[in-house]
Structure 1
Amino acid sequence: MEDTVGFTPATAIVTGSDSGIGRAIAVALARAGLDVGITWHSDQQGAQDTAEEIRALGRGTAIRQLDTTDIAGSAAVIDALADDLGGVDVFVNNAGTGDGVMFLDLDVDTWMRTLNTNLNGAFVCMQAAARRMVLAGHGGRIIAVTSVHESQPRVGAAAYDASKHGLGGLVKTMALELARFGITANSVAPGEIATPMTGQTDQDPTATDRPGIPLGRPGDAREVAAVVVFLASPASSYVTGASWAVDGGMLQMGPQAGSHITAHEWRETN
């Protein structure tokens, strides 16, 4: 990546990069010339597959298991990966989960597991990466993968919505506090993306009809990765505290509830 305003990234860590959006991001960053650290929660083979793609691009990689519900142990995993890579210039917090439980049925254990995975563990990991960047003294990029539900709620997603709203707010505060160190902090907020998390593994998103999304289809994980690569690059040097929706226009549907519409009549005036 070309240096602008004194920042030339060489290393990145992407959490939850054993599949889906995380894998696409890790591979895209490797293609952009970075060595990339990978974490996995339960799919070790998936992490190995991501690593093979990165090595095939001629970049270095390192792999560690990470359970972001282990709040006390998460920072040590990020530090270990940074040691493996020789530093961390870009940190992408992608690890996350959902639960699909209605508010009145939501038990405290499920609530805490979702919050710990998506918000509390993310805080610990991003803080560990930011501290490494500050000590290194040459700036950095922190990017959190949130969701369109960072700003819009969804029925059956009370804990998920709360965690993503919180993560988006955390990133904005980080942007204010880390700016003096030359570290930017931004969010990327995907809509429906064809990944294992949405039950669309290895499906072509362009072949799936989504009438309620203006672009008419789910997204591809590589479309999210492309935005992350920009935010990780020197070209984004004046971008911080922003949330980038990658949703095919879903959020613009507002009260029309884009992801739930099953026909195209809304596109017409009569």
Structure 2
Amino acid sequence: MDYAQEMVGKRVVITGACGIIGGWLAEAFGRAGAKLCLTDARAEPLQALTSAPWFTESSFVLTTDLRDAEAIEAMAAEVGKRWGAADVLVNNAGIYPSGFLLDVDAAEWDRIFDINLRAPFLLSRAFAKLMIAQGVKGNIINISSGAARKMRRTACPYSTSKTALDRLTKGFAIELAEYGIRANALEPGFAAGSDVSQLTQAHVDNVIANIPAGRPTSPQDVGNAALFLASSASAYITGASLPVDGGNSIGSLAVYQDKKHAL
């Protein structure tokens, strides 16, 4: 089945569109022929996306602060005004700060959960209401992480927020099923290059060396998985979390001693 072909003319909202994963998702849906509403808190890079070859005249951008509940409501209202409803909502926006729990203050904890959990709740609620009002059997895709299951030192607030996001996904899946609306989580694997979370080359090399599949996540990996979850090919899948990480979340190739298996 050609998942991309189904996306022609679909109305797709993607948050955090200026991030590395957000950009991959926007391009995947854009090249598949979807109408896009791309949002981000950063106005200048968001506007730059309108020059991309896959950004059509039927698409638009909205600068939105996802920590502001009123801004989220205004964003949903604008989409409702233009489209009536969205067919697909991709809650991609998220932050990945690093720090020991003893050093994380209340304001930083709140910032992480405001963006990684509260915003997806408010967005999903607002867009689900539009879908229901318009009779749209839509899809909500929450961008989660293997960190939801695999704890990482100095990343506990992030991991906790993603674990909660997975539970929120299941909650929406249960409550929206009667309206024909599905909710799933997609867990992209390691992708270096974020301008928000700078990584040293040594760290990047070490992570890649321990991924079972032997390579980082590619744009195609993420795009194909998102198109699949948004398509009728996954019509019987809801409340699921789909890892797209080359096995990174199930374990590591690292060993305590320099040993090789016998063949």
Answer yes or no: same fold by TM over 0.5: yes
Write the distance in 2 (CA, Å) between the matches of 1:105 and 1:208.
25
Is 2:69–2:122's contact at 8 Å kept on the other side of the alignment?
Answer: yes
Superposition TM-score, scaled by structure 1 size: 0.85
Residues 62 and 198 of structure 1: CA distance in aligned 2, closer, same or farther (over 3 Å): same
Provide the residue aligned with 2:32 in structure 1: 32
Summarize the alignment of residues 39-188 of structure 1 with structure 2, pairs less than 5 Å apart: 39-42=39-42, 44-53=43-52, 56=54, 58=56, 60-188=58-186
Structure 1 counterpart SS, 2:210: coil
Write the distance in 1 (CA, Å) between the matches of 2:182 and 2:103.
39
Cα deviation, 1:104-154, whole Å, max 9, x if unaligned, reads 111101000001010011110111111111111130010000111122211
Provide the residue aligned with 1:233 in structure 2: 231
Write the distance in 2 (CA, Å) between the matches of 1:97 and 1:199.
12
RMSD: 2.8
Moved more, 139-148 or 234-243: 234-243
Write the distance in 2 (CA, Å) between the matches of 1:208 and 1:48.
35
Residues 262 and 22 of structure 1: CA distance in aligned 2, closer, same or farther (over 3 Å): farther
Residues 145 and 218 of structure 1: CA distance in aligned 2, closer, same or farther (over 3 Å): same
Consecutive unaligned residues in structure 2, runs of 5 or more:
none
Is 2:87–2:138's contact at 8 Å kept on the other side of the alignment?
Answer: yes
The sequence identity of aligned pairs, in percent, is: 31
Cα deviation, 1:74-104, whole Å, max 9, x if unaligned, reads 2321331343344301000000002211111
Provide the residue aligned with 2:20 in structure 1: 20
Structure 1 counterpart SS, 2:249: helix
Write the distance in 1 (CA, Å) between the matches of 2:72 and 2:239.
24
Superposition TM-score, scaled by structure 2 size: 0.87
Counterpart amino acid of residue 79 in structure 1: A
Deviation at 1:209, TM superposition (A): 7.6
Write the distance in 2 (CA, Å) between the matches of 1:225 and 1:215.
18
Residues 59 and 179 of structure 1: CA distance in aligned 2, closer, same or farther (over 3 Å): farther
Provide the residue aligned with 1:224 in structure 2: 222
Counterpart amino acid of residue 24 in structure 1: W
* Number of residue pairs aligned between Structure 1 and Structure 2: 256
Deviation at 1:252, TM superposition (A): 2.4
Structure 2 counterpart SS, 1:185: strand
Write the distance in 1 (CA, Å) between the matches of 2:20 and 2:11.
21
Is 2:85–2:127's contact at 8 Å kept on the other side of the alignment?
Answer: no
Is 1:37–1:63's contact at 8 Å kept on the other side of the alignment?
Answer: yes
Is 1:139–1:182's contact at 8 Å kept on the other side of the alignment?
Answer: yes
Cα deviation, 1:231-259, whole Å, max 9, x if unaligned, reads 11122211111101111111221xxx45x
Provide the residue aligned with 2:10 in structure 1: 10
Write the distance in 2 (CA, Å) between the matches of 1:47 and 1:57.
12
Write the distance in 1 (CA, Å) between the matches of 2:40 and 2:108.
21
Is 2:36–2:55's contact at 8 Å kept on the other side of the alignment?
Answer: no
Write the distance in 1 (CA, Å) between the matches of 2:112 and 2:86.
27
Write the distance in 2 (CA, Å) between the matches of 1:215 and 1:209.
12
Residue 207 of structure 2 corresponds to residue 215 of structure 1: no
Write the distance in 1 (CA, Å) between the matches of 2:256 and 2:48.
38
Residues 40 and 148 of structure 1: CA distance in aligned 2, closer, same or farther (over 3 Å): same
Write the distance in 2 (CA, Å) between the matches of 1:229 and 1:263.
39
Is 1:140–1:184's contact at 8 Å kept on the other side of the alignment?
Answer: yes
Write the distance in 2 (CA, Å) between the matches of 1:154 and 1:246.
18
Consecutive unaligned residues in structure 1, runs of 5 or more:
none
